[in-house]
Amino acid sequence: MSYAALATRTAVVTGAASGIGEATARLLAAGGARVALLARRTDRLDALAAEIVAAGGQALAVTTDLTDQASVDAAVKTVHDAYGAVDLVVNNAGVMLPNPLADGRLDEWTRMIDTNLTGVLRIVRAFTADLTAAGDEGRTADLVNISSIASHIVFPDYAVYGATKAAVTQLSNALRTELGPRDVRVSAIEPGLTATELDTHIDNPALREQLGGMFAAIPPMSAEDIADLIAYTVTRPRHVNLRHLVALPTRQA
Ligand code: NDP
């Protein structure tokens, strides 16, 4: 699908080093958007930026750790210095670290909350003024938060991950009440099984195997499938807010 309306947009995509973020950055840039790529792995961001530029697009690699406010502050300055204000923010970075609650993995809980929730909030804090200014000027402005089907369906041993994603969906609902009147659209997208690197950080062999079994039994969506939904969402007429999308592989019913 062609997304020509993207040509005037300036975007930030977090978690652009792999998976859904990488595919989204590539698709937004192919539509003509200038795209700032945020994540921790500089080599991956540099390679993606080079690929986008080689294809005639515009991209800026910005190494960022969303769990570190100084790193986020530096990234925001880099984005603003290079591109000025942005009008499209995709809050996508996240980690999924399942384990039984009884194991008490405070290390994993902290990492998930810091990345999936506080990281999202740091980005909202950094770019809300840009988005409301765009809305006030009559331009299209979007905040897209990547939540998960785990926000409202319970998966055993994924309690804290699910809790962070429920928070992202509810945060999106609440932000809509503040930003909608300023003509900023807020969308929460909740994917189901999607083939990315997300499962590679699971350190519990049984849970890795269990998830591997699900991927074997259910043909997953691709990162490009979700990127396509994001690009579709942000290219509707500016008075149309696709506010809550749940996208599952057909066999994940
Ligand atoms: P990936 O692991 O491929 O992508 C996650 C991205 O987040 C990476 O680019 C990673 O880059 C980045 N990231 C992680 N931690 C940080 C951090 N501290 N600071 C900055 N960037 C960070 O998985 P997905 O593409 O699947 O995940 C994208 C989003 O989609 C996540 O929020 C996930 O919860 C959600 N989701 C995924 C589903 C799936 O089945 N795959 C289903 C439902 C939701 P780096 O390591 O370089 O920092």
What is the domain partition of the chain in residue ranges?
4-240
For the chain, give the percent of residues with pLDDT over 90.
98
Identify the CATH number of the domain defined by range 4-240: 3.40.50.720
What's the mean pLDDT in 17-40?
98
Q: What six digits make up the tokens of 249?
A: 């592989």
Whole-prediction pTM: 0.98
Contact 189, 145 (CB under 8 A): yes
For the Cβ of 64 lying below 6 angstroms from any atom of ligand 1, the answer is: yes
Give burial (CB, 10 Å; 0-12/13-18/19+) of 202: buried
162 CA to centre of ligand 1 in angstroms: 14
User: Ligand 1, from 12, 37, 40, 187: best to mutate by most atoms within 8 Å of Cβ?
Assistant: 40
Q: Does the pLDDT value for residue 3 go beyond 90?
A: no
For the Cβ of 67 lying below 6 angstroms from any atom of ligand 1, the answer is: yes
Within a 10 A sphere around the Cβ of 183, how many other Cβ atoms?
19
Residue written as tokens 């079994």? 213
For the Cβ of 120 lying below 6 angstroms from any atom of ligand 1, the answer is: no
Q: What is the predicted pLDDT for the residue at 2?
A: 63
Q: What is the pLDDT of residues 161-213, one digit of tens each?
A: 999 999 999 999 999 999 999 999 999 999 999 999 999 999 999 999 999 99
For the Cβ of 145 lying below 6 angstroms from any atom of ligand 1, the answer is: no
Q: What is the predicted pLDDT for the residue at 1?
A: 54
150 CA to centre of ligand 1 in angstroms: 14
Q: What is the predicted pLDDT for the residue at 69?
A: 98
For the Cβ of 18 lying below 6 angstroms from any atom of ligand 1, the answer is: yes
Q: What is the pLDDT of residues 83-121, one digit of tens each?
A: 999 999 999 999 999 999 999 999 999 999 999 999 999
Average per-residue pLDDT for the chain: 97
Write out the catalytic residue numbers.
161
181 CA to centre of ligand 1 in angstroms: 30
User: Ligand 1, from 73, 95, 120: best to mutate by most atoms within 8 Å of Cβ?
Assistant: 95
Q: What is the predicted pLDDT for the residue at 233?
A: 98
Q: What is the predicted pLDDT for the residue at 80?
A: 98
Contact 64, 96 (CB under 8 A): no
> How far is the CA of 133 from the CAs of 16, 141, 179, in angstroms?
25, 9, 11
Using the atom order of ligand 1, give the atom closest to the CA of residue 71. 19
Q: What is the predicted pLDDT for the residue at 192?
A: 98
For the Cβ of 39 lying below 6 angstroms from any atom of ligand 1, the answer is: yes
